[in-house]
């Protein structure tokens, strides 16, 4: 803890959180590299309580703007500590570039997380170039097909069950001696075996 109420960077006699993170000469140079409208908004809000100030920022900015404010506050705090306690100085441009890179990395991570679940192609999908579409949330999807042999003596039906993420749950295949008419019943039987009530 500092024992004097003077900013060690610019000798200002007011050294509270808003001076350290927004108004000190050193951090002003970082803020000046951000979008003018956003910086004006940050400076115009003069609520003395840090927590209330942050709440006001959450309410009055878009999500990406608020994120930019937070990362800039965090980076300037780190740079300021380095300068005061370790006499290591970083240029405002380096700090600004760090925040930009950090925000870009965050955006990349969120984009990856929002990707739809991977689609598992089945043999049938590959043949017809159709893509498996996930079912409604919370439901399992049963894909069923049936075929009859060329001489019409035998038939078969098969059913595959996947959950909403395309994860294989189970399958069933039956060869029958007569005409194939029960594929839907087989699908429902599989659903019951797998304990899936929503299909």
Task: For Zn ion, give the closer residue by CB, 9 or 67.
Answer: 9
C-alpha 85, offset from chain centre: 36
Cα–Cα dist 75/72, whole Å: 5
Cβ–Cβ under 8 Å, residues 150 and 119 = no
Shortest reach from residue 44's CB to Zn ion, in Å: 20
**SS3 (DSSP) at 81:** helix
Shortest reach from residue 20's CB to Zn ion, in Å: 7
Task: For Zn ion, give the closer residue by CB, 73 or 140.
Answer: 73
Shortest reach from residue 67's CB to Zn ion, in Å: 25
Shortest reach from residue 14's CB to Zn ion, in Å: 9
Closest CA to 173 of 194, 188, 158: 158
Binding site for Zn ion (CB under 5 A): 7, 9-10, 12, 24
Shortest reach from residue 25's CB to Zn ion, in Å: 6
**SS3 (DSSP) at 145:** strand
Task: For Zn ion, give the closer residue by CB, 12 or 169.
Answer: 12
Cα–Cα dist 189/142, whole Å: 11
Task: For Zn ion, give the closer residue by CB, 4 or 136.
Answer: 4
Cα torsion 163, 166, 167, 169: sign: positive
Cβ–Cβ under 8 Å, residues 76 and 82 = no
Task: For Zn ion, give the closer residue by CB, 89 or 168.
Answer: 89
Cα–Cα dist 14/25, whole Å: 13
């Amino acid at each position: 803890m500092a024992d004097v109420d003077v900013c060690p960077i610019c000798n200002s006699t007011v050294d509270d959180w808003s001076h350290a993170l927004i108004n000190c000469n050193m951090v002003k140079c970082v803020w000046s590299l951000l979008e003018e409208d956003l910086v004006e908004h940050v400076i115009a809000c003069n609520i003395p309580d840090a927590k209330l100030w942050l709440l006001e920022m959450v309410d009055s900015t878009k999500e990406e703007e608020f994120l930019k404010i937070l990362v800039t506050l965090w980076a300037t705090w780190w740079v300021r500590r380095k300068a005061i306690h370790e006499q290591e100085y970083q240029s405002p441009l380096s700090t600004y570039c760090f925040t930009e890179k950090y925000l870009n990395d965050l955006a990349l991570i969120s984009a990856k997380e929002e990707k739809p679940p991977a689609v598992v192609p089945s043999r049938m999908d590959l043949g017809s170039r159709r893509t498996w579409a996930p079912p409604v949330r919370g439901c399992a999807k049963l894909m069923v097909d049936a075929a009859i042999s060329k001489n019409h003596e035998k038939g078969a039906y098969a059913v595959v069950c996947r959950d909403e993420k395309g994860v294989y749950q189970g399958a069933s295949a039956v060869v029958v001696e007569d005409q194939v008419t029960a594929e839907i019943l087989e699908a429902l039987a599989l659903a019951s075996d797998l304990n899936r009530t929503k299909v």
